[in-house]
Chain A
Amino acid sequence: MRFRAEIRNVSTLTKFTASLASIGHIAWVRLDDKDVRFTVIPEQGTQVWSVISPNTIFQDWTIQSAAPNNTINLEVPLAPLQRALRSAQNAVAANIRLTKKDNIPLLSLTITTMAMHSSQQPTSSLSDRDNHFSGNGRAPSTNGANDTSSAFREASVDFFGPKADREIVITQDIPIRVLAPATVEGLHEPRCREPDVHIVLPNLNQLKGISERYTKLGMTTSNPRTPRNNSGIAKGAKLELSANMHGCLRLSLKTDAMGISSLWTGLENPELDSTQLAEGEDGLANHPSTRMKELGDASGQGEEGWATVRIEGRDWGRVLSVGRLGGRVIACFCDEHALILYVFLPEEDEREGGGGESVLTYYINSYSV
């Protein structure tokens, strides 16, 4: 079993990992000839299933295993992976490989970076003459020369010219588990009926900020209606998210004490690709979203034509952290049932167009009233 790759886009991979890390602690990573899949299935809450075209994040990669398509299944803890990637943010080069140490499989990240130190700033020896504490006439310790005159010379060199920044090599070893095919056979993407409404979400940054305000409002412990778990801690507020086929999105909070909502209009409802539907053209006509198009209007006033889901505020906030990747997000509403988010990673150059898109799919269950 072999895998090694040069990471070509540390920043994207770091943001990607960070988004996943908000959802759960451990990811099932599946690597094969064609793509890289990261799946996070926490014990409760939203799941995320993602596919990344390897060319988006890797270059010069090799993979080999006994399984068909050279498939490798791993269980990777996300916090160490995120931490390791963060240390690569200023890297000149970073590569990742599957390896073993003391019989424990690891993902080893080797990072070559220029640490940011350079001696452009004067060392304190110049400005600071009072560190002759030991009283033995030693030159200021920052230069450590054995005599004052050379210390002075060195100090001036430091001041006026940066030392050549040398590379440092950082190795990060992330503990992982290799999963047998049998273990992952039973894992399937959740299936859902055809959604009633699909709409492109507004800027996630804005949506996240507003959602967080709502969540906070809904969580005030003084609210007697806030459901509490066994230990008496107020559970997250349930936000109501609705959309229609006329470009409207509505976020509401309804509690005993208040009812507030925010409305976005002018959003895009993407056209369904009829070639991808099971029944082709007929399927399009009978598609729930087509029927929904007949209800409601672009103003968003009125109660018709909305598909609604109820989601937990904090969970929603964690999902929305995917906004850091900056992709296009399409939300598919199954009224009163579930919400599915498709996040398409921005493609950086034409090359990847052929290789397939990178998509993260979030499956969010809806709470009943």
Chain B
Amino acid sequence: MAVLSFSLSPDATSRIYELLVCLAKFGESVSIEARNEKLTITALNLSRTAYASFALDAKTFFIDYDFTASSSAKGGDRFTCQLLNKALQSVFKGRSNDARGRETAIERCDVSIQDQPDKTECRLIVKMLCKHGMTKTYRLTYESVEVMHALFDRTAASQGWRISSRVLREYIEFFGNKTEQLDLLAQDGKAIFTSFTEKIQDGKEVLKQPLETAIAIHTEDFEDFHMQDQMHIVISVKDFKAIVTHAETLRGSMSAYFSFPTRPLQFTYQNFGMHCEFTLMTTGDLRGASSTPNPKFISNRSSSRQPSVAPPPPLNRTASEMPPPARPSFSKPLSSQSQRPSFKAQPSVTESDPDPESLFMPGGEEDQTWDPPNYNNDDGEEMLGWDANNEHPSESFHPTFRDSGTAAPPPQQQQERPAADESQEGLEPTQRLSQVSAQTFHFDAQS
């Protein structure tokens, strides 16, 4: 019996392809998390500075959607796995371009996940039902992993803007090709987007410096705009281009939420039953931005409006209530990225503890990344990190345990986990990497 099965219309199938193309710009693999009410496809980039997620609503995106929660309590309300993006892309690419009227047009796409190791091979099965009774069936292997989601506290991100994605897509055409970073700035009633690379060339090589482009847009052109004057927030320009390019395919407006440089920034947009969110790390001068006593805002919001848009939908993580679990397994603190000097110079503003709302471990505090996690820390404000669970903030059980961590848990957690596992009934339906070696007997029994 399939733990998950759903059907897609041809349009939805091509949307899946487009989202895969977008996710490919972030990482090689995609993670899939299936729940009763939605399917979420996500990717995390290698340096862990960007997280992309597409949540597909069970009722509106699919023709049919059926998720069978497994009986075990822990993690049974969802199914997670990971696949290579390229493998999925080659399945979903199909001939969607010339689908109209061509003989091999896809009429429907049925997907199911077979995950009972004792009954059948664990596979993700995609059936493309084409015209004239032809069916193409693809069987993909997947890896069972726990999915990590980025935390983003929408309520803390009081600044932001919203603009038509089509307009933004036009603007990114003006950027040169080889730049690395994008600076967002509000000044004199305009929003200035600057695509640049920090100057590293010298002498003869100076001619290889990429073209630097700055675009100044009236804030009136935004549907909504609220940003502190003279504050520079810097993100990866490639990530931005990938996001805007995809946003345009959904045709609506794109929203940005942020607070200060070095705090995470989120882009979201939605349409057709797809809710898309991208959480990015930012750089920039935090001191300059946060130390202004009476910050002036450039805004086209009327005073009656809320600074942030509607209350976050349940999909959003209300991170302020949920302490981020410790993640000492981050072996690569971001200061190792040579091209972000501003990150290294980040002031240790108040505490020796990293800001819980910051998405990443600050570079200057490498030592702390190696500290053993403090499981009994109830207020949990000290260490930040990824939280594989994005809901149920009211759970009394500490999220560190509940989420069963990252794909590569640190040794300390590793020891703890078997204890936690044993408390459940039976084995999880999916195989953990850590359990593969222990289960060789299982394979033998099958063959």
Give A contacts to B, CB under 8 Å.
26, 75-77, 80, 83-84, 87, 102, 104, 115-117, 123-125, 128, 130-131, 133-136, 138, 140-144, 146, 166-177
Asked if A125 and B207 sit within 8 Å, CB to CB, the answer is no
B149 at the interface (CB under 8 A from A): no
Chain B nearest CB from A218 CB (Å) reads: 32
State whether A141 and B269 are in contact (beta carbons under 8 Å apart), knowing that A115-B171, A117-B167, A123-B252 are contacts in the complex: yes
Residues of the B chain whose Cβ atoms lie less than 8 Å from the Cβ of A170: 174, 213-216
Residues of the B chain whose Cβ atoms lie less than 8 Å from the Cβ of A80: 176, 210-211
Contact of A144 among B177, B201, B224 (CB under 8 A): B224
Per the bound structure, the CA–CA distance linking A65 and B415 in Å amounts to: 74
Asked if A143 and B223 sit within 8 Å, CB to CB, the answer is yes
Which 9 pairs, one residue from A and one from B, show the smallest C-beta to C-beta distance? A134-B313, A80-B211, A175-B209, A173-B212, A87-B174, A117-B167, A171-B214, A142-B252, A169-B216
Residues of the A chain whose Cβ atoms lie less than 8 Å from the Cβ of B220: 166
Per the bound structure, the CA–CA distance linking A265 and B174 in Å amounts to: 45
Per the bound structure, the CA–CA distance linking A83 and B217 in Å amounts to: 20
Chain B nearest CB from A158 CB (Å) reads: 10
Asked if B166 and A128 sit within 8 Å, CB to CB, the answer is no
Residues of the B chain whose Cβ atoms lie less than 8 Å from the Cβ of A124: 250-252, 271
Residues of the B chain whose Cβ atoms lie less than 8 Å from the Cβ of A117: 164, 166-167, 170
| Nearest-neighbor residue (CB-CB) of A142 within chain B | B252
Asked if A131 and B310 sit within 8 Å, CB to CB, the answer is no
Asked if A168 and B315 sit within 8 Å, CB to CB, the answer is no
Residues of the A chain whose Cβ atoms lie less than 8 Å from the Cβ of B174: 87, 170, 172
Asked if A144 and B162 sit within 8 Å, CB to CB, the answer is yes
State whether A133 and B213 are in contact (beta carbons under 8 Å apart), knowing that A104-B206, A115-B167, A115-B171 are contacts in the complex: no
Per the bound structure, the CA–CA distance linking A14 and B199 in Å amounts to: 26
Asked if A75 and B207 sit within 8 Å, CB to CB, the answer is yes
| Nearest-neighbor residue (CB-CB) of B214 within chain A | A171
Residues of the B chain whose Cβ atoms lie less than 8 Å from the Cβ of A76: 207
B221 at the interface (CB under 8 A from A): yes
Residues of the A chain whose Cβ atoms lie less than 8 Å from the Cβ of B84: none
Most interface-central of B164, B174, B311 (chain A CB within 10 A): B174
B contacts with A: majority SS: mixed
Residues of the B chain whose Cβ atoms lie less than 8 Å from the Cβ of A140: 252
Asked if B270 and A133 sit within 8 Å, CB to CB, the answer is yes
Per the bound structure, the CA–CA distance linking A18 and B354 in Å amounts to: 51
Instruction: Return 18 A-B CB contacts under 8 Å, by A number.
Output: A77-B208, A104-B206, A104-B209, A123-B253, A133-B60, A133-B313, A136-B310, A140-B252, A142-B164, A142-B251, A146-B305, A146-B310, A166-B221, A168-B215, A169-B215, A170-B214, A171-B213, A171-B216
B272 at the interface (CB under 8 A from A): yes
Asked if B207 and A26 sit within 8 Å, CB to CB, the answer is yes
Asked if B207 and A177 sit within 8 Å, CB to CB, the answer is yes
Asked if B207 and A176 sit within 8 Å, CB to CB, the answer is yes
Per the bound structure, the CA–CA distance linking A99 and B15 in Å amounts to: 46
Contact of B309 among A131, A144, A172, A177 (CB under 8 A): A144
Per the bound structure, the CA–CA distance linking A143 and B255 in Å amounts to: 11
Asked if A131 and B252 sit within 8 Å, CB to CB, the answer is yes
B179-200: CB near A (< 8 Å → 1, else 0) gives: 0000000000000000000010
Per the bound structure, the CA–CA distance linking A167 and B217 in Å amounts to: 8
Chain A nearest CB from B219 CB (Å) reads: 10
Residues of the B chain whose Cβ atoms lie less than 8 Å from the Cβ of A104: 199, 206, 209
Interface residue tally of chain B, by bracket?
A: 35 or more
Contact of B207 among A77, A123, A142, A143 (CB under 8 A): A77
State whether A133 and B275 are in contact (beta carbons under 8 Å apart), knowing that A87-B174, A117-B166, A175-B206 are contacts in the complex: yes
Residues of the B chain whose Cβ atoms lie less than 8 Å from the Cβ of A168: 171, 215-218, 221
| Nearest-neighbor residue (CB-CB) of A115 within chain B | B170
Per the bound structure, the CA–CA distance linking A8 and B230 in Å amounts to: 34
Per the bound structure, the CA–CA distance linking A46 and B295 in Å amounts to: 58
Per the bound structure, the CA–CA distance linking A146 and B301 in Å amounts to: 12
B260-291: CB near A (< 8 Å → 1, else 0) gives: 00000000011111110000000000000000
B395 at the interface (CB under 8 A from A): no
Residues of the A chain whose Cβ atoms lie less than 8 Å from the Cβ of B315: 134
State whether A141 and B164 are in contact (beta carbons under 8 Å apart), knowing that A87-B174, A166-B218 are contacts in the complex: no
B66 at the interface (CB under 8 A from A): no
Chain B nearest CB from A18 CB (Å) reads: 15
State whether A136 and B166 are in contact (beta carbons under 8 Å apart), knowing that A166-B221, A168-B171 are contacts in the complex: no
Per the bound structure, the CA–CA distance linking A130 and B216 in Å amounts to: 34
Most interface-central of A131, A133, A136, A176 (chain B CB within 10 A): A133
Residues of the A chain whose Cβ atoms lie less than 8 Å from the Cβ of B305: 146
| Nearest-neighbor residue (CB-CB) of B173 within chain A | A87
Most interface-central of A84, A87, A116, A125 (chain B CB within 10 A): A87
Chain A nearest CB from B164 CB (Å) reads: 7
B331 at the interface (CB under 8 A from A): no
Residues of the A chain whose Cβ atoms lie less than 8 Å from the Cβ of B60: 130, 133
Per the bound structure, the CA–CA distance linking A169 and B251 in Å amounts to: 24
B90 at the interface (CB under 8 A from A): no
Per the bound structure, the CA–CA distance linking A125 and B309 in Å amounts to: 17
State whether A131 and B213 are in contact (beta carbons under 8 Å apart), knowing that A115-B171, A117-B164, A144-B224 are contacts in the complex: no
Asked if B253 and A144 sit within 8 Å, CB to CB, the answer is yes
Per the bound structure, the CA–CA distance linking A87 and B195 in Å amounts to: 14
Residues of the A chain whose Cβ atoms lie less than 8 Å from the Cβ of B269: 141
B355 at the interface (CB under 8 A from A): no
Asked if A102 and B199 sit within 8 Å, CB to CB, the answer is yes
B240-265: CB near A (< 8 Å → 1, else 0) gives: 00000000001111010000000000
B97 at the interface (CB under 8 A from A): no
| Nearest-neighbor residue (CB-CB) of A165 within chain B | B221
Asked if A134 and B275 sit within 8 Å, CB to CB, the answer is yes
State whether A133 and B252 are in contact (beta carbons under 8 Å apart), knowing that A116-B170, A144-B309 are contacts in the complex: no
